[in-house]
Structure formats: structure tokens, C-alpha cells
Structure 1
């Protein structure tokens, strides 16, 4: 299992709704959550393998910035 974390520009529940279809479409993603209360709006993803590129693509596709946190 991979625990992936990303800094994003998501700001609210509406933003979260926009990224939901793209993230849910990635088969390897088991679960994900966005901490909208944190300064970096951290997206945490649990996946069966490292699908960082697909996650970044899904979030950028709907107009948000995203950067992987190592």
C-alpha cells in the first residue's frame, strides 16, 4: 500500500466535488481525503501502488494546482 500526499489549491467542498470523479476513476486508489483546514490543503491518498502521475493529472485537469509532498 502506498500513502501519497500532495499540496493542492483546493479551497472548499465544491472544489473537492470537482476532483472526485477523476480520483475515483483511478482503480489503484483505495481511499483519499483532503484536509481543507490545513494551509497546504493536503490531499492524502491510499493506493495499491504509486499513481502520483495519474492523481496529478486528474486534479490539474479540473483546474487546480497540485504538488507531491515527499
Structure 2
């Protein structure tokens, strides 16, 4: 299982509700969470065979953006 981390502009529970269907329907994602208490609103995604681009596309479809954390 891989773990990917991103800085995001997902700021509140309403934002989480908007991205949930997009992330939940992305093949390969097994779990994900956004740390709303972190100033960078870190999105952590765990899955198998998932790419940064797939996560980025899912978030963009919901109207948000992410930046990879190395």
C-alpha cells in the first residue's frame, strides 16, 4: 500500500462533503483523510497503484486543488 500526501485548499467539513464522492470513486484509493487542523490542510491518501495525478484529477473535479508534499 502506498501513502501519498498533499497540501490542499479543502478547508471545512462542507468541502469534505464535496470531495468525498470523487475520492471514494477513484480506483485504487483505499482510504483518505484531510487534517483540517493543520494549516496546510494535509490530504493523506492510502491505496494500491494510485498515482498523484489520479488524486489531483479527483480533487479538481470537485473544484479544489492539491500540491504534492515530498
Give me the TM-score of the superposition, normalised by structure 1: 0.93
Q: Is it true that 1:53 corresponds to 2:53 in the alignment?
A: yes
Q: Is it true that 1:9 corresponds to 2:9 in the alignment?
A: yes
Contact 2:2 2:49 survives alignment (8 Å) = yes
Structure 1 gaps of 5+ residues are none
**CA deviation profile, 1:36-61 (whole Å, cap 9, x unmatched):** 00010000010112321111011112
- Provide runs of 4+ in structure 1 moved above 2 Å: none
Question: Matches of residues 23-62 of structure 1 in structure 2 within 5 Å?
Answer: 23-62=23-62
SS at match of 1:44: strand
Give me the TM-score of the superposition, normalised by structure 2: 0.93
Aligned residues: 70
Structure 2 gaps of 5+ residues are none
